[in-house]
Amino acid sequence: MIELEHSPLGGSGAHRFINCEASFLLQREQIEDGQFEDVPSEFAALGTAAHELGAEAIATAIEPYEFLGEEFNGYKVGWEGEINLDAVQIYFNACMKILAARQEPGRLLIENTIKLPNVHPLYKGTVDFGWWGKLQGVFLRDYKNGEGIGVSVVNNEQMLYYASLLIMSEPFLQEPAQREMPVNLGIVQPNFYGIFEEPEIWIVTVGFVRDWLHNELLPRMNALYARREPVTDDDHVPGEHCQFCPVLLSCIKMQRAFRTYADASEDFVTLLTNEELDELYEQREHARRFMKVLETTVHHRMMTGGKITSAKLVEKQTARVWKPGGVAAIQAAFGEKAFAPRKELSPAAIEKLSSRGKELALEYGYKPDSAGLVVAPLTDRRPEAKPAGNAGVFAAHAAAAIEDF
């Protein structure tokens, strides 16, 4: 089993604690009081399984497909809804490409957890894949298995954190003469960006990483570690970094956003001005994140014997399926009427069938023109669009309605 990252000031939380002091201060407070609850996530467990498969495949130089049907962290390789072989294959290919280009002996890291308490008591992180040589430089790849979350490698605090750990663990890389050595950073996230896209690469230098460590990361870590003043409103800074915050339910700003939405009635919302709607909509994502973590935490508590009086555990709904022999029976009774008309699979579904399916989806699949406009938060990656000519019609209609009223 891979050793997971648990340090409150570890690499996986760098983006969060650099931007939000409260996330660390509240977690430390709960840990010290014996109240911190690490709620497991099904997606995190599946991600760990995918990482374990990738690590085993790279370490043995065996294609991930050779592990079809084997189990990692409770999930089967290649089974529907379990370990996605295609995604892990892309990660495997990206790492093996680096190893194939080696021109010298070097050091290889595969799911290596690096702890450097001499630098800082909580300075710790797990490198998914790393290799470095004295002539070719440092290469790091981070694998992200999630489908709904994508991150850029440029100025990525987590990647810089891992790079700094590797550099600080190797005396040769700390020598002044190595400041200009290249550091090649990449994030492999095929379930988000798409199977055919190469990992996004950001190339910096050993000197850049070390300067970031000493000028930004360590001062932040030291200040947070030393701080003992009470947490204030200003310490809570919501943002994208809240996605995996371990103390999100304790965040006062998230709580306020959730209560604001919970207390708002439909009639109340429709009477708001644009300015009031703007203020409320800005809190929408915070309320949604709070709700998601609330559901996960309540489920975990109840599954482990806790009592939540406003909720109950029920069986998941399932659809009826045919017993063995059922399909033959309905075919005998109804002939072709027993079957739905044949319809081609979507490009997304064809992609899942095989590598050939991915090639065909890439060649023949396309996105039609937009069917219309929807509202999205400013953090959405899509470019902003403007309403077409209908906007004037609606405006005139609204004005007439006001006059009639």
The total number of residues shown for the chain amounts to 405
The token pair that represents 50 in the structure block? 């995918």
pLDDT tens-digit profile of 47-99? 999 999 999 999 999 999 999 999 999 999 998 889 999 899 999 999 999 99
174 within 8 A of 203, measured Cβ to Cβ: no
How many structural domains comprise the chain? Answer: 2
Q: Report, as an integer, the average pLDDT of 384-402.
A: 54
pLDDT tens-digit profile of 155-211? 999 999 999 999 999 999 999 999 999 999 999 998 876 555 678 899 999 999 999
Q: Report, as an integer, the average pLDDT of 33-47.
A: 84
Residues 219 and 96 occupy one common structural domain: yes
pLDDT on residue 243: 82
DSSP H/E element including 129: strand 124-133
What CATH code is carried by the domain that includes residue 208? Answer: 3.90.320
Q: What is the overall mean pLDDT for the chain?
A: 87
Q: Report, as an integer, the average pLDDT of 1-30.
A: 83
Which residue from 90, 177, 158, 102 is spatially nearest to 132, judged by alpha carbons? 102
Q: Report, as an integer, the average pLDDT of 30-38.
A: 89
280 within 8 A of 266, measured Cβ to Cβ: no
Is the pLDDT at 394 greater than 60? The verdict is no
Helix axes 218-226, 21-32, angle to 10 degrees: 40
- CB count within 10 Å of CB 10 equals 21
DSSP H/E element including 124: strand 124-133
Is the pLDDT at 223 greater than 90? The verdict is yes
Question: Domain range holding 86?
Answer: 11-233
Last residue within a domain, chosen from 285, 303, 321 = 303
Last residue within a domain, chosen from 260, 285, 303 = 303
- CB count within 10 Å of CB 263 equals 8
Residues 223 and 255 occupy one common structural domain: no
Most confident of 215-229, 231-245, 308-322: 215-229
238's CB contacts (< 8 A; 6+ apart) are: 20, 251, 253, 254, 257, 286
